[in-house]
Structure 1
Amino acid sequence: MPVARSLFSYRKYWAERFGTAPFLPMSRDEMDALGWDSCDIIIVTGDAYIDHPSFGMALVGRLLEAQGFRVGILAQPDWQSAEPFKALGRPNLFFGVTGGNMDSMVNRYTSDKRLRHNDAYTPDGSGGKRPDRSVLVYAQRCREAFNDATIVLGGIEASLRRIAHFDYWSDKVRRSVLVDAKADILLFGNAERAVVEVAHRLAKGRPISDMDDIRGVVLLRSLAPEGWTELPGNDIESTEEGARQLKDGKCVVRLPSCEQVSADPEAYARASRILHRESNPGNARPLVQRHGERELWVNPPPVPLSTEEMDEVYELPYARAPHPGYEGKKIPAWDMIRFSVTIMRGCFGGCTFCSITEHEGRVIQNRSEGSVLREIENIRDKTPGFTGQISDIGGPTANMYRMACKDRTIEAACRRLSCVYPAICPNLNTSHEALISLYRKARSLPGIKKVSVASGVRYDLAVKSPTYVKELVTHHVGGYLKIAPEHTEEGPLSKMMKPGIGAYERFKQLFDAAAKEAGKEYYLIPYFIAAHPG
């Protein structure tokens, strides 16, 4: 795996002059109270501002604050004009634009393309507080408000739309969101490393064109840079030339152009396959895709955060509460996660319908046991309304904590799209011991009555450890456990890259036996996908 600069090794931009804000400011009055004449960075988001690491604007905002930058928040601004985007003034460095924790179109519409009337990320759950394709609209309004401002796109909406992509809502292939938004740069995946590096380079007066060596960024160019060898987007890793160029590290993989993938489904499938196969930070190469007269340059994914970096990011001084401006209003997403704890990121499942692997990567990024236990104690001691129950402990997947390839050299060279399909890789460490230890220590803390696991258990891994299943059922299930077999038939399951229904049935047997032994009446709630191809 490539070596990355430590996330907290940069010299602070403003040193300790301004200290830590109780909440990142959302108004000029709040800026004045902090003694700020301007913001260095303004984050524009489609979600209500909740100062908690489960919400992207807070995590990125607090991380940039820890780097010494003055960060403001424009949460769910009225997009009907540019005036609300002038509320905090012009940022000295850049606008960071995100649609929020969800893609705005998924947030606003059902799968039948009917408008939703509620929004879990909005005060009182009200719908209609964000526009369709929020990233595009917000970026355009930022440009209208301050024509010379730098605009940086990020978040899951921008990340998953970084190349030409099929848009379900309009039933056509759309250009990269970077092209349509007319922004300066796009950061994809978990972008802590990229956003910190971009911020510090801009603070030194370097232009966007100097960001082309940063992992996890997408830029537009008029021409491909000199010194790079372009490889056609076929099975290049199987050719002698491709193997040689991979060792050189100075090759870029050519994707079919935006115009080609719009006209030819086979070209689209080829581009999609390449994007997925070039997603391992250990061996991914830059990608280039023609959009009209310009080249879209996609750098390799970011290097995953170390455990020490994960701990620091999740232990930044979050208020762990909604901004005071929402006083008296309920925000459903906050109610859902206020007593939950994230212990890891990423997923090596590679399910074809899921955005987790594509966005967060296959390498599991773990917090330390001590960091997780400290957060539980903070929730116990500082979060109003806590009654002793941690509502959920986990991450994108509940039981991949501390799992990794047994050989880092093999991991860095691997191009498998999944570590568990069609069968669990023999190089994968599937031990649940670290997770069992964490569970036991968490529920033993004073004042903690129960630590629940609500969902996300990967059952094909769980059956490898009957001890884990017993521990889970005996101590961490509250009546029912949501689980996702997704289908029962081999055809659709193979297209999903999900295990056969037999793995689910084996897990159910272990689950039921453990529940019976514990004297509990517990149930599994299976999730299924309707109308999936296959």
Structure 2
Amino acid sequence: MQKELQLSDWLPTTNKEVKIRGWDALDVILFSGDAYVDHPSFGPAVIGRILESYGLRVAIVPQPCVTDNLQDFEKLGIPKLFFGVTGGCMDPMLSNYNANKKRRDKDAYTPNGEIGFRPDYATTVYSNILKDKFPDTPILIGGIEASLRRVTHYDFWSDTLMPTILESSKADMLVYGMGEQPLREIVRLMQKGVPFSSITTVKQTAVLLNADAKIPKNSNWEDVEIASHEVCLSDKKKYASNFKVIEQESNKLAARRIFQKVGDKTLMINPPCPTMTEAEIDGSFELPYTRMPHPKYNKRGPIPAYEMIKFSINIHRGCFGGCSFCTISAHQGKFIASRSQESVLREVDTVANMPDFKGYLSDIGGPSANMYKMKGKVQSICDKCVAPSCISPVICSNLDTSHKPLTDLYKAVDSHPKVKKSFIGSGIRHDMLVPEFNKNADPKELDDYTEEVMTNHVSGRLKVAPEHTSDPVLKLMRKPSFSYFHKFKERFDKINIKKGLNLQLIPYFISNHPACEVEDMANLAAETKDMGFQLEQVQGFTPTPMTVATVIYYSGYHPYTLKKVSTPISQKEKDEQHRFFFWYKEENKAWIRKTLNKLGREDLLKVLLPEKAEKWRKNKPTGETKNTYNDAIPFNQRKDKAKFKSHKKRR
């Protein structure tokens, strides 16, 4: 049984709690844009526990108020080492606004989902307040907001190109990515008496050097300079070209140190740390978390993000997909750091013994559900690799994609006497389960994994993310051809029938992504309708810092080819593309008919609105009717589907 928790089991958040621990001073004070949930899925808690494990006295100030007399920033005094600042588990602008730049009515990381407890650009706001009040105390910023804004970046919400967040926040140092390893070195040096200002060569950190500062030497690193912030402001192509360097160096095991001029200062981004070892990541997950929100929230209501992951288990970090619209690899890296099966099972036992556990684990997963234990077969090949993705455009022949360790882990988890069922809530890379695409793997292993998931880890619906149907769009997304989704669906249907499961396959799609045009969305609507889908899991592309797609959205250029790429920019373009997801709604039918008639795509109209297409055809003069589909033939087998393919080739 879980022990009865005391207030002192959480990191202190007030002076009263500091005194309960018998402390008269603090080494580090953390400020976070999230409510304090002491759980390994919440970054601020992880950082607090990591610092605590180094022997430091750590307190956390969650969601400090920035609209009063700012007492939250002064109440715990001045730390001996530094202030740590994070905007939270999401970029605050994503937490506060949707893809249409409208204020959200819920904040998942606040009790009861209430809004107004997190300022826009929280890291900058908090850091500026602290620097104003305590100018002589070092400020270290981290978390996803700082990590993805570490260099010149496009900010969708202000529609501006911003410099490194070190400039706007006035912070002294930035830790990017997962913070355990760089923090360990920073603390080690400070405990040896090294002044914070002299700590400039720690891996996975960035600092902004003054004009008169000497460049720190490190004979083990090569250096590379990218276009200055000022050049980026005047030359979008130069801004785009920067990103290729940034992304490649972020994903290399032996990366170069990056320099960028920002006014009369110099941004220095040190290379990333090596991928965490199994022992290191096990150690991080097995720190003494209470796994609960701080008791201060007991009367304020549940925290939605916590309720979602309360009974879930994270089994690895990192993602080698490298999707153009995704920030996971930019923050966690492309190399997978997997926990040992023993560590995972110990956490399962902890969760199973929580008082309100009913026997159901909501997720056994990670950034992508099925990348556990996957890595290069020959490490020396990975050491030299600069590719941002290990599976696009094809799966690397050096990548071990065996799903057997994961299948075995699922079975071990389910053998726990208190676990009735474990679900897979994380996204599954369906393409890696198709032998025609994943040629490295044993087809039987892939089928075993798919059957295990469908039989024992899904409740009615299996969600996967093909994202689009257009091959040119998918290529830019770094996703495989939609033909592999068809092949996965065939396997899914076969197992569904074989096992009598009656499961639904739910695909996710994105509209208005760079390279996507209205005609592509019409094709998507037609192809998915013909497959029997009425789409519901859809979203519009939201530009976020540190992605290929965002660089293209702002600059118009692909950072790897520097060729122009068309992108929906206006709200009208975005709305029109998104509308095709909902072809089945009555209010959209007249618009769809008009749009497809204008494009000369009666073939698509025939699929989406056959009765409208027939009426239109009969009223047109002879000779103007285009080829139409034979409705009795499945869409993906029709000979005149070549029209769709030819459209893709023109693009």
Structure-1 residue corresponding to 2:307: 335
**2:8–2:20 Cα contact (<8 Å) kept:** no
**2:43–2:143 Cα contact (<8 Å) kept:** yes
Structure-1 residue corresponding to 2:138: 150
Q: Does 1:219 align with 2:181?
A: no
- For residue 529 of structure 1, give the secondary structure of its aligned residue in structure 2: strand
**1:455–1:481 Cα contact (<8 Å) kept:** no
Match of 1:369 among 337, 341, 363: 341
| d(CA) in 1 for partners of 2:173, 2:284 | 23
Higher alpha-carbon deviation: 198-207 or 69-78: 198-207
Shift of 1:288: 0.1
Q: Does 1:266 align with 2:267?
A: no
| d(CA) in 1 for partners of 2:264, 2:154 | 21
Q: Does 1:469 align with 2:450?
A: yes
| d(CA) in 2 for partners of 1:142, 1:225 | 27
AA in 2 matched with 1:75: P
Q: Does 1:498 align with 2:474?
A: no
Structure-1 residue corresponding to 2:595: none
| d(CA) in 2 for partners of 1:529, 1:225 | 47
- For residue 59 of structure 1, give the secondary structure of its aligned residue in structure 2: helix
Shift of 1:179: 0.9
| d(CA) in 1 for partners of 2:164, 2:113 | 31
Structure-2 change in CA distance of 1:107 and 1:227 (3 Å): closer
| d(CA) in 1 for partners of 2:133, 2:494 | 62
Structure-2 residue corresponding to 1:291: 262
After TM superposition, the structure 1 = structure 2 runs for residues 275-290 of structure 1, keeping only pairs within 5 Å, are 275-290=246-261
After TM superposition, the structure 1 = structure 2 runs for residues 128-277 of structure 1, keeping only pairs within 5 Å, are 128-222=116-210, 225=214, 249-277=220-248
After TM superposition, the structure 1 = structure 2 runs for residues 112-123 of structure 1, keeping only pairs within 5 Å, are 112-123=100-111
Shift of 1:250: 4.1
| d(CA) in 2 for partners of 1:39, 1:508 | 56
Q: What CA deviation, in whole Å up to 9, does each residue of 1:28-52 have, x standing for no partner?
A: 0001111011211111000000110
After TM superposition, the structure 1 = structure 2 runs for residues 485-524 of structure 1, keeping only pairs within 5 Å, are 485-524=466-505
| d(CA) in 1 for partners of 2:341, 2:20 | 37
**1:184–1:219 Cα contact (<8 Å) kept:** yes
| d(CA) in 1 for partners of 2:215, 2:158 | 37
| d(CA) in 2 for partners of 1:516, 1:21 | 54
**1:43–1:95 Cα contact (<8 Å) kept:** yes
- For residue 358 of structure 2, give the secondary structure of its aligned residue in structure 1: coil
Match of 1:44 among 11, 19, 31: 31
Structure-1 residue corresponding to 2:508: 527
Unaligned runs of 5+ in 1: 1-19, 230-247
Shift of 1:196: 1.9
AA in 2 matched with 1:264: D
- For residue 404 of structure 1, give the secondary structure of its aligned residue in structure 2: coil
AA in 2 matched with 1:459: H
Structure-1 residue corresponding to 2:316: 344
Q: What CA deviation, in whole Å up to 9, does each residue of 1:460-512 have, x standing for no partner?
A: 11224111111111111111122111111112111111111112122222122
Structure-2 residue corresponding to 1:82: 70
Structure-2 residue corresponding to 1:354: 326
Q: What CA deviation, in whole Å up to 9, does each residue of 1:145-171 have, x standing for no partner?
A: 322111000000000000011111111
Structure-2 change in CA distance of 1:266 and 1:228 (3 Å): farther
| d(CA) in 2 for partners of 1:65, 1:133 | 27
Shift of 1:323: 0.3
**1:83–1:145 Cα contact (<8 Å) kept:** no
**1:117–1:128 Cα contact (<8 Å) kept:** no
Structure-2 residue corresponding to 1:415: 386
AA in 2 matched with 1:356: I
Match of 1:427 among 398, 410, 416: 398
| d(CA) in 1 for partners of 2:17, 2:467 | 47
Two-structure CA RMSD over aligned residues (Å): 1.6
Structure-2 residue corresponding to 1:125: 113
- For residue 13 of structure 2, give the secondary structure of its aligned residue in structure 1: coil
Q: What CA deviation, in whole Å up to 9, does each residue of 1:65-113 have, x standing for no partner?
A: 1111011010001012432111211111111100000000010001110
AA in 1 matched with 2:372: Y
Shift of 1:225: 4.5
**2:27–2:58 Cα contact (<8 Å) kept:** yes
Structure-1 residue corresponding to 2:459: 478
- For residue 511 of structure 2, give the secondary structure of its aligned residue in structure 1: coil
Match of 1:397 among 350, 368, 372: 368
Q: Does 1:71 align with 2:52?
A: no
AA in 1 matched with 2:234: A
| d(CA) in 1 for partners of 2:447, 2:345 | 25
Shift of 1:392: 0.4
Percentage identity across aligned positions? Answer: 43
**1:94–1:150 Cα contact (<8 Å) kept:** yes
**2:149–2:164 Cα contact (<8 Å) kept:** yes
| d(CA) in 1 for partners of 2:237, 2:495 | 48
Shift of 1:249: 4.2
- For residue 428 of structure 1, give the secondary structure of its aligned residue in structure 2: coil
Structure-2 change in CA distance of 1:165 and 1:227 (3 Å): closer
AA in 2 matched with 1:390: L
**2:63–2:117 Cα contact (<8 Å) kept:** yes
| d(CA) in 2 for partners of 1:124, 1:493 | 38
| d(CA) in 2 for partners of 1:102, 1:222 | 30
| d(CA) in 1 for partners of 2:159, 2:364 | 38
In the superposition, the TM-score normalised over structure 2's length comes to 0.75
Match of 1:453 among 410, 424, 427: 424
Match of 1:380 among 340, 352, 363: 352
Structure-2 residue corresponding to 1:239: none
AA in 2 matched with 1:47: D
**1:172–1:262 Cα contact (<8 Å) kept:** no
Higher alpha-carbon deviation: 498-507 or 356-365: 498-507
| d(CA) in 2 for partners of 1:154, 1:104 | 13
| d(CA) in 2 for partners of 1:135, 1:425 | 38
- For residue 250 of structure 2, give the secondary structure of its aligned residue in structure 1: coil
| d(CA) in 2 for partners of 1:182, 1:454 | 39
| d(CA) in 2 for partners of 1:183, 1:516 | 58
AA in 1 matched with 2:13: M
**1:286–1:298 Cα contact (<8 Å) kept:** yes
Structure-2 residue corresponding to 1:110: 98
Shift of 1:325: 0.5
AA in 2 matched with 1:94: F
**1:82–1:144 Cα contact (<8 Å) kept:** no
Q: Does 1:24 align with 2:24?
A: no
Unaligned runs of 5+ in 2: 1-6, 436-445, 516-651
In the superposition, the TM-score normalised over structure 1's length comes to 0.91
AA in 1 matched with 2:61: L
Shift of 1:455: 3.0
AA in 1 matched with 2:86: T
AA in 2 matched with 1:38: A
- For residue 158 of structure 2, give the secondary structure of its aligned residue in structure 1: coil
Shift of 1:341: 0.1
